[in-house]
A and B are shown apart, each in its own frame.
Chain A
């Protein structure tokens, strides 16, 4: 290491940016569903953030700034690995959602019983398999506890978009969880 002293920039960065590493780590962990990949993504994000610290506009939402750097890094990684980010068929999801209303085939109790068969890993995997737009809002809202306003700022989208993605993301997640419950031998009606 090149000396143990800290420069003013390093000190400022450590005080202002590093406390948000928790938030970014959890997002990275749920997006990648892999601790090693999450580590890499967090390191890459903070290294970029530090190098471009001069570009950060003081007083603006630092969490949103860091989040955008991480999201771009995540997307770049997809490109590097020649994977296409998931595309979302919103109509298909909406159709699925509408069937929930009609089917009334499972009470909430029955559903909870089915989900009770699942392991935490199943749930993490189901979330990791959601299309990216939906996955992001479900992670930020239901795991990290961010407000709609903050998520909207993170993603630079209107509040209504956050709400609709959350609604559809949860519906799609339910579908995936029911599939996993069936795989674990629990009988649920389609």
Chain B
């Protein structure tokens, strides 16, 4: 065995994977070549040193509990929308992208399914917007709620919402995500815009409604502690079961609630750099 052949076998020798004649030849060469012996001893000591100092850390019990809770709170089926978006986002080939965008354009042209008739509020219970926004998010993920428009173009979304809301709609740029579509919903007869963003396989849903109506509290509401934060001009956030979180803020007459399957600190981080792509006046 020469030095080059010895060198090729140092790592398996350190991991005790040499046997028989190969091991004998390895040992014989090490005995007569101090340089090779030193190289072997060096790698051996590194492996030993790492193994002695960095042992396996048990999985923290709270993390295991969180994993179990997350799994049990997940829906049973892969949401059709999520699956589609993830496969869409996961393929960066420009041809596929162009085809997909083209298909979206065709779909968008005839896809306005549920325009809300103006001025027809009915009598409803007071809707808690945190609960409503989470239910809507779940409905979008599991396919119960369909996007009424599918587009990545903010100006097309902007056009879609014109004259459908009684508050200015904000379509912000959110770091790592881009709009993929929207729908117009209502809670207690109050228009509520849902703008859906996607990126890195995660869906972020941005709900917007009239801040004044929420403050009034007769049709829409928020928990008092959240209202306090918002009235002070702050941003309210909370982590929900199942690994989801909500972030709430106001901008003029508009209340925005972002919901996503990620811890609130991450969602806050991604929202920290929002800037308006488009603002649609009522």
Contacts and interface: CB of A to CB of B under 8 A. Distances in A.
Is chain B found bound to chain A in the same assembly?
Answer: yes
Interface of A: 1-2, 4, 6-7, 9-10, 13-14, 18, 21-22, 25-26, 29-30, 35, 39-40, 42-44, 46-48, 50-52, 54, 76, 79-80, 97, 100-102, 104, 108, 111-112, 115, 118, 120, 123-124, 127, 138, 141-144, 148, 163-164, 166-167, 170-171, 173-174, 177
A22 B56 contact: yes
Contacts of B59: 21-22, 25
A66 to B, nearest CB: 12
A108 B41 contact: yes
B56 A26 contact: yes
Nearest to A120: B53
Nearest to A44: B262
B76 A9 contact: yes
> Taking each of A97, A101, A141, A143, which has the highest tally of chain B beta carbons within 10 Å of its own beta carbon?
A101
A173 B46 contact: yes
A22 B63 CA distance: 10
B71 A10 contact: yes
A124 B73 CA distance: 35
B42 A143 contact: no
A170 B46 contact: yes
B232 interface: no
A181 to B, nearest CB: 11
A7 B76 CA distance: 7
Given A25-B60, A118-B53, 11 more contacts: A25-B57, A25-B63, A35-B60, A39-B60, A47-B74, A101-B3, A112-B45, A123-B53, A124-B54, A148-B12, A167-B11
A112 B64 CA distance: 37
Contact of B36 (A7, A101, A118, A124): A101
6 contacts: A47-B74, A54-B78, A108-B42, A123-B54, A124-B54, A148-B15
Contact of B45 (A54, A76, A108, A167): A108
Nearest to B70: A47
> Taking each of B39, B49, B71, B263, which has the highest tally of chain A beta carbons within 10 Å of its own beta carbon?
B71
A111 to B, nearest CB: 6
B38 A30 contact: no
B69 interface: yes
Contacts of B201: 48, 76
Closest 3 CB pairs between A and B?
A: A167-B11, A101-B35, A108-B41
B155 interface: no
Nearest to B76: A7
Given A26-B56, A39-B63, A42-B67, A127 B35 contact: no
Nearest to A5: B72
Contacts of B119: none
Given A22-B59, A104-B38, A124-B54, A47 B11 contact: no
Nearest to B10: A167
- Interface size class of chain B, counting residues whose CB lies under 8 Å from the partner chain: 35 or more
Contacts of A42: 63, 67
Contacts of A51: 74, 78-79, 82
B231 interface: no
Contact of A102 (B10, B35, B200): B35
A29 B200 CA distance: 22
A26 B57 contact: yes
B57 to A, nearest CB: 6
Nearest to A103: B38
Interface in B53-93: 53-60, 63-64, 66-74, 76, 78-79, 82
B34 interface: yes
Nearest to A137: B11
Contacts of B70: 43, 46-47, 50
Contact of A14 (B55, B58, B68, B242): B68
Given A22-B58, A43-B243, A104-B34, A142 B39 contact: no
Contacts of A25: 57, 59-60, 63
